[in-house]
Amino acid sequence: MIFQNLRARNFLLKHGPGYSFRTHRHKEGDDWINDGRGKPKLANVKIKEQAEFNQENDVFEGLSRFLLPYSQSSGFSGTEQWIKAIILLIPQRRLPNHGWLYRVQLKYPRCPNCSLDYLEQDKRFKDVMTCPLCRSRYKRIPAFRGEFIPWRPPRKLSLLQKSRR
């Protein structure tokens, strides 16, 4: 699945599950995302169809009402901004009267310690994932496109160690 819009892509990569409106039906299940045709993979995702949109007249109002419940998890500040982004990505530069809404969720790797299928975002450290079962922590490495390595939080230095620096 291609995420050309920077705002939507960054929301998905930083905050987890997001919603994406598509004018063509997309396959559900496991997939990966990138930022353009032929570009490298950014992350593995799980895609699920949420709803189908079909409106013949007053398309802007209909699309606005359709997207409203999902706009907080889209990366846009409101439905108007989301609709403008949709129009910019359509070659005809017009409002679509038919489309599908998908929930896109990042698929995190299994925990190597306990084989749990997902990791949670750590509440205190950015780019750190925590296994909810065994509490192991893993840090995301951007250079490797979403790969994770074991990680420990920085320890506090004692007064003796600080004086030696």
Reported as a single tens digit per residue, the pLDDT across 86-111 is 999 888 888 888 899 999 988 765 66
Q: What is the pLDDT of residues 40-88, one digit of tens each?
A: 877 788 999 999 998 887 888 889 999 999 988 898 989 999 999 999 9
Enter the tokens of residue 131. 């296994």
On the 0-12 / 13-18 / 19+ scale of CB atoms within 10 A, 58 is exposed
pTM: 0.65
